[in-house]
């Protein structure tokens, strides 16, 4: 599918992640010693939003201001490799740079270099005129404001106002930045930036105030693990929940939300559809490791995470990066009941993430007969994904999930106690990498077959 080109306007930073191993404290002070450092540079700020939009398959131009230094040269290289065209209006002084020292997926320390300085902008010249032309000609624009000042430049701001008048503009504001121009299609402050307190009622009231003040079509307040709240001209706000808890590195989640939202709106989606899709895209991004992970193509940012092998592998990789154990289980899960839930909860307690290998409809029919399943695979997967103990679901079409397990390589594969005394084919598969198959006791008297028999008896009576 052809995707609408996008212009991103905002402050670009060079981010560096220094990932290492911590096994001891320093003898000089009670601080951790980080060893075997692996340095990973990446585009940050508006640069990250542009890279993520390009990874969605869009033609992306980035209007930003870079200095004449090593950090700027590195940013140009990274952006070019991602397929992002840079329109540089010029920056006097150093390009902003942020360094995060990390271990096992956790940040220990952040160091900031450069940043906003009075008189840092180059005077309006050919580069600025080229930026203005790019903005005015853009089918859609995302402003990713990181408070360094580019959105305050009068000529660029006038160009953005013209775009907003045609309802093509998404604005990600910053507390230190300029307010959005009037007429934006969507403005996305975080809950901290918007204010209104911790309760949804207060956030909704504040979002309505901001929408009136900014004269925007919609204001979407991101709520972290609770998703996002959208206020439009409709009297009742929309809450788009996160498809599943993703308590990993959330760095860059806002940029992923906005890059997905800008793209969806550019392609013709409505505001509600856009915010739901952007929440899903941001959740998948965080579950896959956040900004610290190398972004790859995402052909459908509106697709829910947790569908397919890619999401399961990301969940497993995130658990392993923290030194955790990956647990898998499998089954039909037709008419989910208390016995299923008890086994799933117990399986999750054995490790740090749980992947469910779910028999497809065709696989269930081969195992159970033509009358099954009672619930189609998409609905069965959705119900499983709604459980807090389930981190990912992979649908497979074979009689057993051996192919899925070979790709996932879990530490444990869990089956119910009714499989005791049987030779399980999964046991030989897990032995290939020293994994183990274990049984969990069942909750007596709970089974799908029994539920069906009782339902038929009630119908017969």
User: pLDDT tens digits, residue range 9-53?
Assistant: 999 999 988 888 888 888 888 888 988 888 889 999 999 999 999
Residue 287: is its pLDDT beyond 80?
Answer: no
Compare 250 and 390 and report the one with higher pLDDT: 390
* Token couple for 177: 């930045």
Sign (positive/negative) of CA torsion 451, 350, 363, 360?
A: positive
The model's pLDDT over 366-388, given as tens digits with 9 standing for 90+, comes to 888 887 788 888 888 888 888 88
For residues 313-328, give the mean pLDDT. Answer: 88
Active site residue ranges: 255
For residues 391-403, give the mean pLDDT. Answer: 90
What element of type H or E holds 36? strand 32-45
Residue among 265, 317, 340 at smallest CA distance from 3: 265
pLDDT band at 420 (very low <50, low <70, confident <90, very high): low
Residue among 198, 194, 169 at smallest CA distance from 183: 169
* Token couple for 444: 């007596």
Residue 62 carries which DSSP code? Answer: E
Model pLDDT, residue 120: 58
pLDDT band at 296 (very low <50, low <70, confident <90, very high): very low
The proportion of the chain whose per-residue pLDDT surpasses 90, expressed as a percent, equals: 34
Alpha carbons 38 and 102: distance in angstroms, whole number: 10
Model pLDDT, residue 170: 95
Asked if 450 contacts 339 with a C-beta cutoff of 8 angstroms, the reply is no
Query: For 452, what's the count of Cα atoms within 13 Å in the CB-facing half-sphere?
Result: 12
For residues 269-286, give the mean pLDDT. Answer: 88
Residue 298: is its pLDDT beyond 50?
Answer: no
Secondary structure in 3-state letters for 427-438? HHHHHCCCCEEE
Model pLDDT, residue 253: 87
Q: How many CB atoms lie within 10 A of CB 239?
A: 18
* Token couple for 79: 């952006």
Q: How many CB atoms lie within 10 A of CB 432?
A: 10
pLDDT band at 423 (very low <50, low <70, confident <90, very high): confident
Compare 27 and 166 and report the one with higher pLDDT: 27
The model's pLDDT over 180-229, given as tens digits with 9 standing for 90+, comes to 999 999 999 998 988 878 788 899 999 999 999 999 999 999 988 888 99
Model pLDDT, residue 229: 92
Q: How many CB atoms lie within 10 A of CB 303?
A: 15
Residue 124: is its pLDDT beyond 80?
Answer: no
Residue 300: is its pLDDT beyond 50?
Answer: no
pLDDT band at 358 (very low <50, low <70, confident <90, very high): very high
Alpha carbons 150 and 152: distance in angstroms, whole number: 5
Residue among 320, 338, 340, 315 at smallest CA distance from 330: 340
Alpha carbons 342 and 345: distance in angstroms, whole number: 5
Model pLDDT, residue 356: 94
Compare 5 and 450 and report the one with higher pLDDT: 5
Distances (CA, A) of 69 to 14, 35, 91, 98, 145: 11, 28, 10, 15, 22
For residues 267-280, give the mean pLDDT. Answer: 90
pLDDT band at 418 (very low <50, low <70, confident <90, very high): low
The model's pLDDT over 323-347, given as tens digits with 9 standing for 90+, comes to 889 999 998 888 787 788 888 988 8
Residue among 140, 233, 240, 230 at smallest CA distance from 189: 230
Alpha carbons 99 and 359: distance in angstroms, whole number: 45
Alpha carbons 405 and 400: distance in angstroms, whole number: 10
Burial class (CB in 10 A: 0-12, 13-18, 19+), 324: middle
Model pLDDT, residue 303: 37
Query: For 184, what's the count of Cα atoms within 13 Å in the CB-facing half-sphere?
Result: 28
Asked if 440 contacts 416 with a C-beta cutoff of 8 angstroms, the reply is yes
Model pLDDT, residue 369: 82
φ and ψ at 123, to 5 degrees? -65, 155
Model pLDDT, residue 415: 85
For residues 243-265, give the mean pLDDT. Answer: 79
In 3-state terms, what secondary structure has residue 4? coil
Residue 65, C-beta contacts closer than 8 angstroms, at least 6 positions apart? 11, 12, 88, 89, 90, 91, 120, 121, 122, 148, 150
- Quote the longest CA-to-CA distance of the chain: 86
* Token couple for 1: 């599918």
Alpha carbons 231 and 228: distance in angstroms, whole number: 10
**Mean per-residue pLDDT of the chain:** 84
Residue 225 carries which DSSP code? Answer: G
Domains in the chain with CATH codes: 6-292 (3.40.1190.20), 309-460 (3.40.50.620)
* Token couple for 358: 């779910």
Compare 251 and 47 and report the one with higher pLDDT: 47
pLDDT band at 176 (very low <50, low <70, confident <90, very high): confident
For residues 159-165, give the mean pLDDT. Answer: 89
Residue among 281, 264, 282 at smallest CA distance from 273: 264
Sign (positive/negative) of CA torsion 55, 59, 63, 69?
A: positive
């Amino acid at each position: 599918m052809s995707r609408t080109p996008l212009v991103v306007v905002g402050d670009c930073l060079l981010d560096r992640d220094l990932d290492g191993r911590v096994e001891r404290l320093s003898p000089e002070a009670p601080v951790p010693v980080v060893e075997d450092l692996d340095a990973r540079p990446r585009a940050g700020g508006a640069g990250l939003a542009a890279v993520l939009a390009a990874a969605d398959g869009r033609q992306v131009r980035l209007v930003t201001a870079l200095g004449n230094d090593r950090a700027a040269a590195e940013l140009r290289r990274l952006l070019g490799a991602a397929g992002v065209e840079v329109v540089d209006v010029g920056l006097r002084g150093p390009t902003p740079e942020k360094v995060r020292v990390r271990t096992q997926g956790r940040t220990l320390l952040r160091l900031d270099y450069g940043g906003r300085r009075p008189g840092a902008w180059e005077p309006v010249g050919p580069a600025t005129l080229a930026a203005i032309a790019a903005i005015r000609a853009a089918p859609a624009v995302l402003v990713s404001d990181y408070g360094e000042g580019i959105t305050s430049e009068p000529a660029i701001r006038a160009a953005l106002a013209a775009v907003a008048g045609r309802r093509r503009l998404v604005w990600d504001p910053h507390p230190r930045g300029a307010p959005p121009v009037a007429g934006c299609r969507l403005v996305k402050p975080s809950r901290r930036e918007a204010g209104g307190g911790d309760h949804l009622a207060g956030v909704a009231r504040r979002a309505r105030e901001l929408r009136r003040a900014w004269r925007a079509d919609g204001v979407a307040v991101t709520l972290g693990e609770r998703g996002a709240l959208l206020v439009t001209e409709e009297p009742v706000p929309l809450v788009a929940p996160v498809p599943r808890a993703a308590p990993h590195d959330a760095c860059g989640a806002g940029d992923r939300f906005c890059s997905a939202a800008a793209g969806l709106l550019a392609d013709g989606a409505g505001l509600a559809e856009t915010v739901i899709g952007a929440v899903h895209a941001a959740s998948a991004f965080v579950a896959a490791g956040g900004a610290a992970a190398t972004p790859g193509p995402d052909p459908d940012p509106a697709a829910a995470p947790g569908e397919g092998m890619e999401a399961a592998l990301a969940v497993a990789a995130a658990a392993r990066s923290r030194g955790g154990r990956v647990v898998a289980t499998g089954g039909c899960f037709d008419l989910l009941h208390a016995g299923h839930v008890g086994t799933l909860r117990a399986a999750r307690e054995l490790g740090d993430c749980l992947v469910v290998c779910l028999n497809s409809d065709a696989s269930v029919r081969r195992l159970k007969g033509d009358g099954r399943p009672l619930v189609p695979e998409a609905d069965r997967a959705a119900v499983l994904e709604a459980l807090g103990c389930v981190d990912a679901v992979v649908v497979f079409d074979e009689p057993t999930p051996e192919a899925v397990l070979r790709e996932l390589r879990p530490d444990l594969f869990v089956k119910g106690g009714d499989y005791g005394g049987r030779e399980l084919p999964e046991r030989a598969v897990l032995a290939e990498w020293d994994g183990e198959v274990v049984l969990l006791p069942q909750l007596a008297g709970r089974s799908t077959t029994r539920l069906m028999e009782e339902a038929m008896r009630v119908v017969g009576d």
